[in-house]
Structure 1
Amino acid sequence: MSGDFREYLIEMEVRAFLIPYFLSVFCAGIPLLVIEIGLGQFTGQGPVTAWGMISPLFKGIGCAGLVIQVFLDTYYVVIMAWGLYYLLFSFNAVLPYSTCSNDWNTPCCFVQAAKEQVIDVDTNGSMTRDTMTGINGTMATMMSGSFFNMSEECPNGTTSPTVEFWNRKVLQIHLSEGIHDVGAVSWQLFLCLILAWFLIYLCICKGVKSSGKVVYVTVPFPYILLTILLVRAVTLPNAVDGIIFYLKPDTSKLRDSQVWLDAATQIFYSNTLGQGFLVALGSYNKRNHNFVRDTLLYSLTNSATSLYSGFVIFAVLGFMAGKQGKEVGEVAKSDGRIVEEVRLFNRCSYSLFLFLIRSWTVYSLFLFLVLIPCSYSVFLFLVLVPYQVLDCSFLVLIPCSCSLSGPGLGFIVYPEAITEMPLSTLWAILFFLCLLFLGIDSVFVVVEGFVTTIVDIFPNTLLKGHRREFFCAGCCLFFCMAGIPMVTYGGMFIFQLFDFYAASGFVLLWVALCESLVIGWVYGGNRFMQDIINMIGKGWIKPYMLAAWMFMTPLFAGTIFIYSIVYYKPLTYEDDYVYPWWGYMLGWFMALSSILTIPVVFIYQFVFVSKGTLMERWVDGTTSRVPEIQQDGPLDKKDHSYGELELR
């Protein structure tokens, strides 16, 4: 990610995040949503074709989104594979990540529930029964009537069974020394990866019709489970302390410019801006569909659901604080050694599970409010799903100095909390089943966006007979094979590179900056606003949109882009593994492959495609190619149901 959130999350509490977040939604989030969805609906094409029709010189904006989609499709489904792995292991009377008696556990594994058996030995030799304290002190623990010196066996302290299950059983990262030594493929994770891609293929093979049927199965269950989890969370002991901590305002942090910059950055992640998905899936809308209403509704429900989901996580934090005998703030912002040893990645991030919940809830609202009465017009909102779920995509922050990351919350903290609950096996199955459904809802949209983009580039080739289905199968197979390195023993090192560079903050900010400048100043804000009025018949948002497209949004995106470059910090893993120079080169290659696409395509179009003098080339390259009939009035567009192409 562009801005390293470690220092930020140590100092800032989530309560100070709301004001700049909502202002960022107003200044950048909504205007860019209107641009991307409106562009797709107006042209009826995917991002590459759509931007080429708006301004051939800036066709690279769509190409950059396509490159980002390729990287996302490569590593995104690995998260689903992890969830499937956990789900399969949850079908046990005793959860394997709740005990230290498994063959993958180390002598340093420690179950918090057994804290009464911990004997703290001070330096003078006296012993007192207490909770585990002091990482550097001499500690011994009673196990099977014997003692062993904890400071010698575990110089870095103890670890919880959930952490060891994640690191030593799921990832098996202890068998790798780094990205230069990824080791063998974990066959269990590989099978989970294949299964995940098979499920994705079943969702997208028939296009919108098959996808629409899938969501009727995957949508209701997660919402019900979220409500159940919320009820269970608020009934846990000390949960009210976490909720009070969550709601108590803290305006002192608003003086910190970093808070405002970070809040603005999150808009580009949480709204999936700059990736081409919104343009591609916006092309499914009927021409007169009121997408502006949906955009505003989405922005509001996006933020509201984030706040709603926050009650779940902070109620759990209050429960964990009570179990540890700490204040909620101490659990959320520790001195670097939480009892559960939640030490994962190099950056703090958002909850994978809760962000999936958020995105799913937003989609479900559109499903039942718009999809049923408007046929396929709302299919574009399938794109409202978590992007960078591992990289700061959810409003609810868990500040900590131990570098908590998205998978940390989804695959360590929540399993840790589940093991503390009665009927833990049932809760674990429900949790990871919900995670699977949410992942399906999210991932197949990422792939669908890519397929839509390519199909719109080659419609005469890919929309004949069953070619689209074969193309979908080929895409799934290709991306599955491309993801194999990430299910090796050192796969997490590769995964981190993709997560940090391939679709990082400065990449999305650059694309968003170009989008706003092209619409506001090249194509013309007034002209695009008139196109929107021709489609939906309403222009009440015109003053706001013109001010945003021409001034507010470019200023927001440009400022954060420059800031993220100036304060760039190289990627590390768990703050102690430094990637080799060629690893950073690989990461920057992925980042620049999308960033440089825009200027490279611009130069190609200007030099080799456009003709005449410099001014004539500019005029030709910025002249819209949208058919006049499409600009002046309603036009029935192609049927994206994907049995066959039907032009009406």
Structure 2
Amino acid sequence: MVPLKLNRAGDRGQWASKREYILVVAGSVVGLGNVWRFPYLCYKNGGGAFLVPYGLLAVVCGITLFLLESSVGQYTQEGFITCWRKMCPLAQGIGYGNFIMKLYEFNYIIIQVWALLYLVFSFRSQLPWASCENTWNTANCMVLGMSGGIEDLGSVRWELALCLLASWMFCYFSIWKGVRSSGKVAYFTATFPYVMLLILLIRGLTLPGAWDGIYYYLYPNLNRLANLEVWIEAGSQIFFSFSLTTGSLNVLGSYNEYNNNCYKDCFWLCLLNSGTSFVAGFVVFSVLGFMAQKQDVTVDNVAESGPGLAFIAYPQATAMMPLPQFWTVCFFLMLILLTVDTHFVIVESSITTVSDLFPKWFRAPVRHEIFVLIICVSSFLIHLTLVTEGGIYIFQLIDFYGSTRVCQNFIAICECLAVGWIFGADQFSNIIEDMTGQRPSVFFKVCWKYIIPLLSLISFILYLVDYKHLKINDWYTYPDWAYVLGWTMTLSSVLMVPLWAAGQMCLTAGTFRQVSVHLLQPKQYASFF
């Protein structure tokens, strides 16, 4: 069967080279999830045994969805809303759901802000977190000076506000020219973290107590494989670290040439991501082993995940080393660079999608640059709430509810239904073969049509059954209104899919059968406005 050809909109631009595409995608998918989430999940869920569910789900869900989303973008050469309009108009709600999730992900910049502040403090002769005798840090020695809760936001911290301003300025100048500028920035931001990672790895492995930490990281506990939660967390990590169901891969793939071999790309990029996660575990747990030995405690007493690892445990450990300033600078410089390209891809993919929705308004170079400036300035002003003393509570709330497992799994189910069943897995395989010269194996079709929807549905249901309210360090419980706000954020993206489909069915003229056929068929024209 000859693949369906779509007309493609011009004047969008393309990657200057294949190398820039690889670097930007690598920079986007290799982020903090590899450093502060994967090692802890591995330690917590059976050590080396965790690699079994992780590796299996990386193949079944990770690579297959990575190929699906990249190929959809490359085939349509559109953002994550208009790409679905072309392939399956009834599924446009997937794109609008992605867009809302992206707005919540803008808050990711606060990690960069915290890391930048810590980097500045790292050049002091006495590291601020080496002691808790200061007026501005907490009993947990956290430099961010947390308030008592989300009810008490306190004042804006000017040093964090300056870091926020610097971060948004860097983001603007990284993306203001579109892929022409972001592709160039990625030469540094996507490669230099690996230099820092290598330096920290060598240092970590030479520390006393390092191998005790690595033992905790990798010692296999096969009994944990019988726990369903271990498999759920492995799948969640795959979705998070591979940037699946967020729309970013669609947009980045849309700037490729039609004949780019996205089939081969997805294997190498997924392997790079998982390999980085595995190596990062040695960096983290070698230092935690050293810290445990220094404090004469076991590693499980110092092992943490998320912000607690990056901004409490690891800085305290580096403060105990010879030349602490150097190792702290290396660590926070790596964190900053890991967040920079992930964040500017989040913003760029959103801007690209809006530009593709309204090409006459935003594709002209001057208008595009002004639009990017408006987005960055308004986001900076909104994010000033995140640099208050209670800002970390807002961030944790958005992070927990804005892009939850519910959102990820629901969007995955919808994508697979749209491509595997409505558009057709066979026709989609024909398209990939036409673009790349390589036909995906039948395994991919089976995953798109059956395995991924089934696993995502199970994970979706289990999340709802086992749901527990967000707490901070097991001591702070949010007020009821915050949980209502959190679930509103979750539903705001999930409900876009059925509501948009229902709205289209109601507003399109014709009988139910005529409307259904019309909205389920791919569009064969390029411009909609």
TM-score over 0.5 (shorter chain) = yes
CA offsets 1:145-196 (integer angstroms, 9 cap, x no match): xxxxxxxxxxxxxx5xxx32x2xx42x223xx43222122112211111111
Deviates more, 1:241-250 or 1:415-424: 241-250
CA contact (8 A) 2:42 2:218 kept: no
Residue of structure 1 equivalent to 2:443: 544
Residues 1:76 and 2:108 are matched in the alignment: yes
SS in 2 for 1:570: coil
Q: Which of 117, 123, 146 lines up with 1:173 in the alignment?
A: 146
Q: CA–CA distance in 1 between the matches of 2:200 and 2:495?
A: 45
Residue of structure 1 equivalent to 2:82: 49
Q: Which of 66, 71, 84 lines up with 2:99 in the alignment?
A: 66
Q: CA–CA distance in 2 between the matches of 1:48 and 1:325?
A: 54
- CA displacement at 1:263 relative to structure 2: 1.2
Larger relative contact order (Cα-Cα within 8 Å, sequence gap ≥ 6): 2
Structure 1 residues 225, 548: CA separation in 2 closer, same or farther (over 3 Å shift)?
same
CA contact (8 A) 2:420 2:445 kept: yes
Q: CA–CA distance in 2 between the matches of 1:521 and 1:323?
A: 57
- CA displacement at 1:10 relative to structure 2: 9.3
Residues 1:97 and 2:97 are matched in the alignment: no
Residue of structure 1 equivalent to 2:491: 592
- CA displacement at 1:216 relative to structure 2: 2.5
Write the mapping of 1:20-169 to structure 2, written as runs, cut at 5 A: 20-73=53-106, 75-104=107-136, 163-164=140-141, 166=142, 169=143
Q: Unaligned 5+ residue runs, structure 2?
A: 1-32
Q: How many residues align?
A: 490
Q: Whose helix fraction is larger, Structure 1's or Structure 2's?
A: 2
Structure 1 residues 522, 206: CA separation in 2 closer, same or farther (over 3 Å shift)?
same
Q: Which of 263, 280, 285 lines up with 1:309 in the alignment?
A: 280
CA offsets 1:101-149 (integer angstroms, 9 cap, x no match): 433368xxxxxxxxxxxxxxxxxxxxxxxxxxxxxxxxxxxxxxxxxxx
SS in 1 for 2:81: helix
Q: Which of 458, 469, 474 lines up with 1:570 in the alignment?
A: 469
Residue of structure 1 equivalent to 2:240: 269
Q: Which of 446, 460, 465 lines up with 1:561 in the alignment?
A: 460
Q: Which of 179, 189, 193 lines up with 1:222 in the alignment?
A: 193
- CA displacement at 1:212 relative to structure 2: 2.3
- CA displacement at 1:528 relative to structure 2: 0.9
Write the mapping of 1:380-391 to structure 2, written as runs, cut at 5 A: none
Q: CA–CA distance in 2 between the matches of 1:31 and 1:222?
A: 27
CA contact (8 A) 1:43 1:626 kept: no
Residue of structure 2 equivalent to 1:206: 177
CA offsets 1:436-462 (integer angstroms, 9 cap, x no match): 222222211111111111111111111
Q: CA–CA distance in 1 between the matches of 2:192 and 2:232?
A: 36
Q: Unaligned 5+ residue runs, structure 1?
A: 107-158, 339-397, 399-403, 631-636, 638-648
How much is the aligned-residue C-alpha RMSD, in angstroms? 2.2
- CA displacement at 1:215 relative to structure 2: 2.2
Residue of structure 2 equivalent to 1:405: 305
Deviates more, 1:423-432 or 1:89-98: 423-432
SS in 2 for 1:483: helix
The letter of the residue matching 1:89 is F
CA contact (8 A) 2:232 2:459 kept: yes
- CA displacement at 1:419 relative to structure 2: 0.4
Residue of structure 1 equivalent to 2:521: 623
CA offsets 1:394-421 (integer angstroms, 9 cap, x no match): xxxx5xxxxx331111111111111011
Write the mapping of 1:314-463 to structure 2, written as runs, cut at 5 A: 314-326=285-297, 330-332=298-300, 334=301, 398=303, 404-463=304-363
The letter of the residue matching 1:615 is R
Structure 1 residues 93, 528: CA separation in 2 closer, same or farther (over 3 Å shift)?
same
Write the mapping of 1:466-481 to structure 2, written as runs, cut at 5 A: 466-481=366-381
Structure 1 residues 298, 11: CA separation in 2 closer, same or farther (over 3 Å shift)?
closer
Q: CA–CA distance in 2 between the matches of 1:462 and 1:236?
A: 53
CA contact (8 A) 1:418 1:428 kept: yes
Q: What TM-score results when the alignment is normalised by the length of structure 1?
A: 0.73
Deviates more, 1:305-314 or 1:7-16: 7-16
Residue of structure 2 equivalent to 1:296: 267
Write the mapping of 1:524-535 to structure 2, written as runs, cut at 5 A: 524-535=424-435
- CA displacement at 1:8 relative to structure 2: 8.8
The letter of the residue matching 2:100 is V
The letter of the residue matching 2:78 is Q
Q: CA–CA distance in 2 between the matches of 1:447 and 1:204?
A: 8
The letter of the residue matching 2:486 is G
The letter of the residue matching 1:258 is E
Structure 1 residues 465, 83: CA separation in 2 closer, same or farther (over 3 Å shift)?
same
Residues 1:241 and 2:212 are matched in the alignment: yes
Q: CA–CA distance in 2 between the matches of 1:549 and 1:221?
A: 35
Greater C-alpha radius of gyration: 1
CA offsets 1:596-622 (integer angstroms, 9 cap, x no match): 00001000111112x322222211110
Q: CA–CA distance in 1 between the matches of 2:133 and 2:401?
A: 38
Identity of aligned residues (%): 41
